[in-house]
Amino acid sequence: MKIGVIGVGKLGQDCAEVIAENGHEVSGYDINPFESDSITQVETIEELVQDKDYVFVSVPTPHDPAYDGSTPAMHLEPKDFNYDIATSVIAEANKYMNDSQSIILISTVMPGTIRKQIIPLVTNTKFVYNPYLIAMGTIRWDMVNPEMIMVGTEDGSETGLASELKSFYDSFMENNPRTIVGTWEEIETMKIFYNTFISTKVVLTNMVMDVALKVGNINVDIVTEALAGCTQRINGSQYMTAGMPDGGSCHPRDNIAMRWLAQEYDLGYDLFSAVMTAREVQAKNMADAVVLQAQAHNMQCIIVGKAYKVDVGYEHGSGSILVGHYIEEQGVELHYYDTNTGDLYQSDVPAVYLMAHNFGKISEKNTTSSVIIPDGSVVIDPWRQYQNENCTVIHFGNTRINDTQNKIQ
C-alpha cells in the first residue's frame, strides 16, 4: 500500500520504517529534516498525501511543559493537551485528499476530542482514530507485538475502513494481536485509561515500599511478588466491568483504614481518600440518576439487590445500600428486593428499578430474575444486561449516540 506519515519524530520514524520494511511504500513529512533508508522524505503535506491510501498522523499532542511529571504539578490548574499541531496538519492534509483515502490519527487525545475538534476538519476524506500502545525504547518491537490494536470509528462499526485497517496490520504483526473496534470516544477512553491504570498500579506498588520503610520489618519484594502472582482478581479480568460501587466487608473498610495509616506514618499523600471519595461520588451520581427518573415520573424506587454482591446475603459495605442512602437523602420512597437478605418488596404499579445486582450473572443464588417488574416501569441497569420491551430500560454507562434507548431523559 502507499502510506504517508505526518510527524516523523521519536515515535513516527520508527513506526514508519517498520511499515516500510514490511513491503509498503512509505513517504514522510516533518518540519525537521530526518534521515532514513526506507522512507521517502517530502517537503510539503500536499506532496505527501498525493495518491496515498493511508495518511498516518503521529504528531505531538503536548501538555504544558510544567505538566510533564518531572516537577510537582498537582498544585497547578488542570489542563487538557494542546491539539494545535494535530488540528493544523489534519486540516492541511484534508485540503488535498479525497474520499478514497483515509487519515489515521495515532496521537493520544482526551475523550471527546475527536468528535469535537478533529472531525469538523475532515470534510474530504475518511478518518479513523488508531492510537498505539508503544513505549519509548521499544517502539519497533511494540509496533509488531502490540497488546491490542484499537480502531475508532464514528459509530463503532467493524466493517469498511476498520476491517481494511485490520488487514493492513495483519500484513506485518508478529503476535496475532486482538483488534478492538469502538467509537472514537471509546478508543480515546481506552487509550488514556490504559495509561492511567498503569500509573495507578505503579503508585500502589510504590506505596508498599513506602509502608515498608515507615513500618519496618517488611521486605517490599516479598509483598509485591506475592501480589504479582495473584491472577484471579488483582491482575485478572475480574472487577473490570463498570457497575455498582465496590463493596463487601473488606474493600471499603480497608481503604478507609489505610487513610489512617497514611496519616499515622506520614506518608505524605492519601491515595485512599481519593479512592473512597470517588466511590461515594460515583454512588451519589447513580442515585441522582435514579432520583431524576423517580421525580420525573412520580414513582417510587426499588433497588434489586441489597447484599454487597449477587450471590450472598451479606450487607456489610454494600454499594447498593450506599446508593440507597443518597436516594433516601433526597426524599424519595425506597424499597429493596433481594431474596438473599429477606427483602421481598414487590410493587403492583410502575416504579423506578435499579438493577444493583448483575441480571446477566449466572448463579444458583442469583434471584434477580424473580423480581416482578410492572409494565411501564423505568429500569436502570448499571451492568447493561437487562432487556424488557414493556419498560423504559436505561443501560447506565452506555452513552453511544446511536443508542437512543440509553439516554436518561
In a domain, 211, yes or no: no
Pair (61, 171) in one structural domain? yes
Q: Where is the domain boundary, 156, 186, 216?
A: 186
DSSP state of 45: H
Q: Are residues 27 and 51 in contact, defined by beta-carbon separation less than 8 angstroms? A: no
Pair (178, 289) in one structural domain? no
Pair (71, 181) in one structural domain? yes
Pair (388, 280) in one structural domain? yes
Q: Where is the domain boundary, 186, 217, 233?
A: 186
In a domain, 128, yes or no: yes
In a domain, 327, yes or no: yes
What's the predicted TM-score (pTM) here?
0.81
Domain that holds residue 53: 2-186
Pair (180, 302) in one structural domain? no
Q: Where is the domain boundary, 144, 163, 186?
A: 186
CATH of the domain at 323: 3.40.50.720
Question: 191 — phi, psi (to 5°)?
Answer: -70, -45
What is the dihedral sign for C-alpha 396, 200, 139, 44?
positive
Q: pLDDT per position in the chain (409 positions), as tens?
A: 999 999 999 899 999 999 999 999 999 999 999 999 999 999 999 999 999 999 999 999 988 888 777 677 778 788 889 999 999 999 999 999 999 999 999 999 999 999 999 999 999 999 999 999 988 788 999 999 999 999 999 999 998 889 999 999 998 999 999 999 999 999 999 998 898 888 888 888 888 888 888 888 888 888 898 999 998 888 877 777 788 888 887 788 788 878 888 889 899 988 888 888 889 999 999 999 999 999 999 999 999 999 988 888 888 889 999 999 999 999 999 999 999 999 999 999 999 999 999 877 766 666 777 899 999 999 999 988 899 999 999 998 888 765 544 444 3
Domain total in the chain = 2
In a domain, 253, yes or no: no
In a domain, 192, yes or no: no
In a domain, 14, yes or no: yes
In a domain, 262, yes or no: no
Order of strands across the sheet that contains 378-381: 343-344, 334-338, 301-304, 352-355, 378-381, 392-395
Report the alpha-carbon distance of residue 32 to residue 60 in Å, rounded. Answer: 13
Pair (39, 164) in one structural domain? yes
